[in-house]
């Protein structure tokens, strides 16, 4: 989908590039600006070097004395050695600040001889400490016990004397300070010792009370390694808990199974083991013939039968057979024998009766379910008891563990406080043995002044002068470049754009006339102004690439590209070349207006026509008074000029013109106004950019050139137009203002050109 006319007119091709390349491009552009304005940079360097030379000659010479201190011992009698000096290094920053402190400096100033007061002459006494501190430098060498001290003065002897006095003052200040500190530390440590011992006593009392209150915790060094009785009970109850839970689950399943069997009329015999003990035992004994009651009765009867038989045998010895006693015993024996013999039958009858009554589902079902429910309740009660017992043991175990943790914490606190007490005892012993010891330091490098002044240094002044001169020079060049955004010379223009300057056209006086009679090269071919166009023609002819088809455009409206194009067309025709001039600016046709060709014929008619290109072109080409020069005007303004130029008809027109003419010149709209020049530039051999230095901003011209390069257009070079005597030979100082704008006037609201304006030039034969 092709963009609309409005979008195409608002689009301005940009040459996109990565940020890094863009930054490098800007840096190279600034370096070119510095090169072109190197005079400003040189002047800045000269001024900076002159200021540096004045400073070097007038600055006060300062001499430096240096010394080094090696810390040997450090407070409280703890000696530091060369091999073990971590404690000394840890307070080296403190010692460094003490050396440069107000008290040490004030004490040293009070001890200075008059000849060493050189730097304090004329300074109020209240400022002496500040002056000495500014001249003093104290630095702790990295990873060492060494302090590097230096002092600067206008007199080398005074520098040595002041530094020596400062070293003595520093040592005496430290000795006095550490003696006072040792006494204060001893009092503080004794108080800390008393508090620590009291803390240990209180902690021991708390530990004894805790152990007495918990006799179930064995008195060991590490109570956490103990196994308490509650923990053993918890471990023992866990299997019982699991077993009870499983039994409850099984009992619940049995109750549900009995309910299902009763509801469905199923067999209840498999659940007989769940019946009450008496019912189950009685039923089982009756089924197997082993009833305890029957066996006891049978045994009793058999014993009685034996006794009767024994009595009968004994009575027969004394009584006859017909004796009533013998008959009674015989009858009893017969009755008992018959009863014993009938017991199996009676047992079978009783079993049948029981089976008919006791095994009836209506009787057995409730009995079995009641037994199962009672068993489930019993198991739940047992499970609840185990859980309550387990909860009690766990509560007691938590209490015991809390007491164990408290006892362990007390023992840890006691051990820590005992370590603190040992440390305090060591410090107290050290202070008692070494009351008079403080920081000891030996001078490894005695104070000595350098023979030459340390400031000012010629090398530093020279480097600073060069750097400052370069910086301020570049800053001034940048400011001027921003404020004066114009090209100052042809070399600058060519350097910035990267293309050659093909010609410089002076400002031409307006010629009274119409059509081609208003063109300078046609009216005054021998004039000095026409020579610039002949020079431009020569540069184009002798270009390295083919230049048969050339487009003339500009950065903005008003740069004079139409005037330059018309004069170049005349110059090429005067050289004997058949030349075709095409006005491709169908929005604001300046060429057609200049040559008085605003009518219904022209380029727009060719591009909209459907006839063959050669026929349509011949119908719209005009001849001119200049032999060999033909013109195709812009024609009636179309609504879509960009689409017409990007179509195939315009390319066919250029291809056909190549076969008929030696030189083809195209007048295109400005680059930054519309996209037409970029469209045409890709179809021709080269583009010539017309620049008016007094009006065009440098950044706009660079932007226009980058747009063309970004679209792979071949830019042959630039034409510098509208040079005046005030331009100072196209050097510095154009004398023109900076006003510019985009008032190109493209828009569809303009009134349509009068199609009835007669043209003065005839059509080409």
Residue 650 is predicted with a pLDDT of 94
123-164: pLDDT as tens digits: 898 888 888 888 889 888 777 778 888 888 888 888 888 888
Q: Among 215-219, 263-267, 466-470, 737-741, name the one with the lowest average pLDDT.
A: 737-741
Share of the chain above pLDDT 90, in %: 25
Residue 737 is predicted with a pLDDT of 33
Residue 213 has pLDDT above 60, yes or no: yes
739 confidence band (pLDDT: 50, 70, 90): very low
Residue 88 is predicted with a pLDDT of 54
Structure tokens at 337: 């024998």
Burial grade of 67 (CB within 10 A; 0-12, 13-18, 19 or more): buried
Residue 213 main-chain phi, psi, to 5 deg:
-75, -10
Residue 242 has pLDDT above 80, yes or no: yes
Burial grade of 315 (CB within 10 A; 0-12, 13-18, 19 or more): middle
Residue 68 is predicted with a pLDDT of 86
2 confidence band (pLDDT: 50, 70, 90): very low
Which of the given ranges, 69-73, 106-110, 174-178, 563-567, has the highest pLDDT on average? 563-567
Burial grade of 574 (CB within 10 A; 0-12, 13-18, 19 or more): buried
Residue 77 is predicted with a pLDDT of 42
Average pLDDT, the chain: 79
358 confidence band (pLDDT: 50, 70, 90): low
Residue 179 is predicted with a pLDDT of 65
Residue 527 is predicted with a pLDDT of 86
Residue 78 is predicted with a pLDDT of 41
Residue linked to tokens 């530390």: 185
637 confidence band (pLDDT: 50, 70, 90): very high
Q: Among 224-238, 513-527, 582-596, 646-660, name the one with the lowest average pLDDT.
A: 224-238
How many whole angstroms separate alpha carbon 609 and alpha carbon 168?
A: 108
Q: Which residues contact 23 (CB under 8 A, 6 or more apart)?
A: none
Structure tokens at 244: 């009870």
Asked if 119 and 154 touch (Cβ cutoff 8 Å), the reply is: yes
351 confidence band (pLDDT: 50, 70, 90): low
Question: Quick one: average pLDDT of 201-225?
Answer: 70
Tell me if residue 632 falls in helix, strand or coil.
strand
Residue 690 is predicted with a pLDDT of 95
Residue 290 has pLDDT above 90, yes or no: no
Residue 277 has pLDDT above 90, yes or no: no
Q: Among 77-86, 669-678, 729-738, name the one with the lowest average pLDDT.
A: 729-738
Residue 548 main-chain phi, psi, to 5 deg:
-70, -35
Asked if 636 and 604 touch (Cβ cutoff 8 Å), the reply is: yes
Q: Helical H runs in 447-497? A: 458-483, 490-497
By DSSP bridging, strand 440-449 and strand 63-74 are: antiparallel
Full-model pTM: 0.45
Q: Among 109-113, 187-191, 238-242, name the one with the lowest average pLDDT.
A: 187-191
Parse the chain into domains and list their residue ranges: 230-395, 490-727
Residue 11 is predicted with a pLDDT of 36
Q: Among 13-22, 32-41, 565-574, 697-706, name the one with the lowest average pLDDT.
A: 13-22
Cα maximum dimension of the chain: 201
1 confidence band (pLDDT: 50, 70, 90): very low
What CATH number was assigned to the domain covering residues 490-727?
Answer: 3.40.50.300
Q: Among 64-73, 515-524, 626-635, 697-706, name the one with the lowest average pLDDT.
A: 64-73
Residue 104 is predicted with a pLDDT of 86
Residue 413 has pLDDT above 60, yes or no: yes
Q: Which residues contact 87 (CB under 8 A, 6 or more apart)?
A: 74, 78, 80
649 confidence band (pLDDT: 50, 70, 90): very high
> If we measure between CA atoms, which residue out of 584, 597, 590, 535 comes closest to residue 563?
590
Q: Among 141-150, 217-226, 464-473, 711-720, name the one with the lowest average pLDDT.
A: 217-226
Residue 101 has pLDDT above 90, yes or no: no
Residue 754 has pLDDT above 50, yes or no: no
Residue 761 is predicted with a pLDDT of 42
531-562: pLDDT as tens digits: 999 999 999 998 888 999 999 999 999 899 99
> If we measure between CA atoms, which residue out of 52, 12, 16 comes closest to residue 670?
12
Residue linked to tokens 């071919």: 525
Q: Among 139-153, 264-278, 439-453, name the one with the lowest average pLDDT.
A: 264-278
Asked if 524 and 661 touch (Cβ cutoff 8 Å), the reply is: no
500 confidence band (pLDDT: 50, 70, 90): very high
Question: Quick one: average pLDDT of 112-131?
Answer: 86
Which of the given ranges, 31-35, 165-169, 745-749, has the highest pLDDT on average? 165-169
Q: Among 79-93, 96-110, 456-470, 510-524, name the one with the lowest average pLDDT.
A: 79-93
209 confidence band (pLDDT: 50, 70, 90): confident
Pick the more confident residue, 610 or 75: 610
- Helices and strands, counts by H and E, the chain: 25, 13
> If we measure between CA atoms, which residue out of 250, 253, 249, 245 comes closest to residue 387?
245
697-709 burial by CB neighbour count: b if 16+ within 10 A, else e?
ebebbbbbbbbbb
**The dihedral formed by the CA atoms of 590, 596, 600 and 603, expressed in degrees to the nearest 10:** -50
Pick the more confident residue, 479 or 538: 538
Residue 526 has pLDDT above 80, yes or no: yes
- Dihedral sign for Cα 138, 140, 141, 142, please: negative
Compute the residue count for the chain.
Answer: 765
Tell me if residue 498 falls in helix, strand or coil.
coil
Tell me if residue 701 falls in helix, strand or coil.
helix
By DSSP bridging, strand 63-74 and strand 78-79 are: antiparallel
């Amino acid at each position: 989908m092709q963009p609309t006319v409005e979008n195409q007119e608002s689009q301005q091709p940009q040459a996109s590039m990565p940020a890094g390349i863009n930054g490098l491009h800007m840096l190279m552009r600034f370096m070119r600006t510095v090169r072109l304005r190197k005079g400003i940079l040189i002047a800045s360097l000269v001024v900076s070097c002159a200021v540096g030379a004045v400073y070097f000659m007038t600055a006060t010479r300062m001499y430096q004395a240096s010394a080094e201190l090696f810390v040997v011992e450090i407070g409280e009698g703890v000696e530091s050695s060369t091999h073990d000096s971590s404690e000394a290094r840890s307070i080296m920053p403190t010692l460094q600040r003490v050396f440069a402190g107000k008290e040490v400096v004030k004490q040293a100033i009070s001890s200075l001889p008059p000849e060493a007061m050189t730097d304090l002459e004329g300074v109020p006494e209240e400022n002496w400490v500040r002056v000495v501190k500014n001249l003093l430098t104290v630095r702790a060498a990295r990873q060492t016990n060494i302090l590097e001290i230096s002092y600067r003065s206008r007199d080398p002897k005074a520098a040595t004397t002041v530094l020596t006095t400062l070293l003595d003052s520093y040592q005496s200040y430290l000795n006095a300070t550490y003696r006072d500190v040792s006494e204060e530390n001893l009092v503080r440590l004794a108080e800390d010792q008393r508090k620590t011992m009291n803390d240990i006593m209180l902690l021991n009392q708390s530990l004894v009370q805790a152990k007495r209150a918990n006799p179930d915790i064995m008195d060991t060094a590490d109570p956490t390694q103990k196994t308490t009785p509650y923990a053993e009970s918890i471990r023992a109850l866990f299997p019982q808990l699991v077993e009870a839970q499983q039994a409850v689950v099984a009992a619940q399943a049995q109750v549900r199974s009995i309910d299902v069997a009763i509801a469905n009329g199923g067999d209840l015999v498999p659940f007989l083991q769940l019946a009450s003990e008496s019912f189950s035992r009685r039923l089982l004994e009756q089924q197997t013939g082993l009833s305890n009651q029957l066996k006891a009765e049978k045994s009793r009867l058999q014993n009685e039968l034996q006794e009767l038989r024994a009595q009968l045998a004994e009575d027969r010895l004394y009584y006859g057979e017909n004796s009533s006693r013998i008959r009674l015993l015989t009858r009893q024996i017969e009755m008992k024998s018959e009863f014993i013999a009938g017991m199996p039958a009676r047992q079978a009858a009783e079993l049948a009766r029981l089976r008919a009554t006791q095994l009836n589902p209506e009787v057995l079902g409730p009995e079995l379910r009641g037994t199962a429910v009672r068993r489930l309740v019993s198991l739940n009660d047992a499970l609840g008891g185990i859980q309550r017992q387990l909860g009690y043991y766990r509560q007691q175990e938590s209490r015991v563990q809390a007491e164990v943790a408290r006892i362990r914490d007390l023992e840890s606190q006691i051990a820590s406080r005992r370590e603190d007490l040992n440390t305090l005892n060591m410090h107290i012993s050290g202070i008692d043995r070494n009351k008079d010891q403080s920081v000891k330091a030996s001078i490894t490098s005695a104070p000595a002044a350098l023979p030459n002044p340390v400031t000012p240094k010629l090398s530093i002044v020279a480097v600073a002068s060069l750097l400052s001169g370069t910086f301020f020079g570049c800053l001034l060049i940048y400011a001027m470049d921003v404020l004066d955004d114009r090209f100052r010379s042809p070399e600058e223009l060519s350097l910035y754009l990267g293309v050659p300057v093909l010609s410089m056209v002076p400002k031409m006086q307006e010629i009274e006339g119409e059509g081609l009679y208003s063109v300078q090269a046609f009216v005054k071919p021998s004039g000095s102004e026409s020579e610039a166009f002949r020079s431009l023609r020569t540069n184009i002819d002798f270009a390295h690439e083919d230049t048969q088809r050339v487009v003339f455009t500009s950065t903005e409206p008003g740069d004079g590209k139409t005037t330059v194009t018309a004069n170049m067309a005349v110059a090429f025709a005067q050289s004997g070349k058949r030349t075709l001039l095409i006005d491709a600016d169908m929005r604001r046709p300046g060429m057609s207006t200049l040559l008085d060709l605003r009518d219904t014929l022209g380029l727009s008619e060719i591009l909209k026509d459907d006839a063959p290109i050669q026929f349509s072109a011949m119908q719209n080409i005009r001849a001119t008074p200049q032999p060999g020069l033909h013109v195709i005007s812009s024609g009636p303004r179309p609504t879509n000029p960009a689409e017409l130029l990007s179509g195939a008809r315009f390319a066919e027109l250029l291809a056909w013109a190549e076969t008929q003419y030696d030189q083809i010149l195209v007048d295109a709209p400005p680059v930054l106004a519309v996209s037409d020049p970029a469209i045409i530039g890709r179809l021709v051999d080269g583009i010539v950019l017309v620049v008016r230095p007094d009006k065009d901003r440098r950044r706009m011209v660079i932007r226009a050139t980058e747009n063309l390069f970004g679209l792979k257009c071949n830019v042959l070079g630039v034409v510098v137009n509208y040079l005046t005597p005030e331009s100072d030979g196209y050097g510095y100082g154009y004398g023109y203002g900076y006003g510019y704008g985009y008032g190109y006037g493209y828009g569809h609201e303009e009134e349509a050109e009068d199609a009835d304006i007669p043209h003065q030039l005839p059509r080409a034969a």
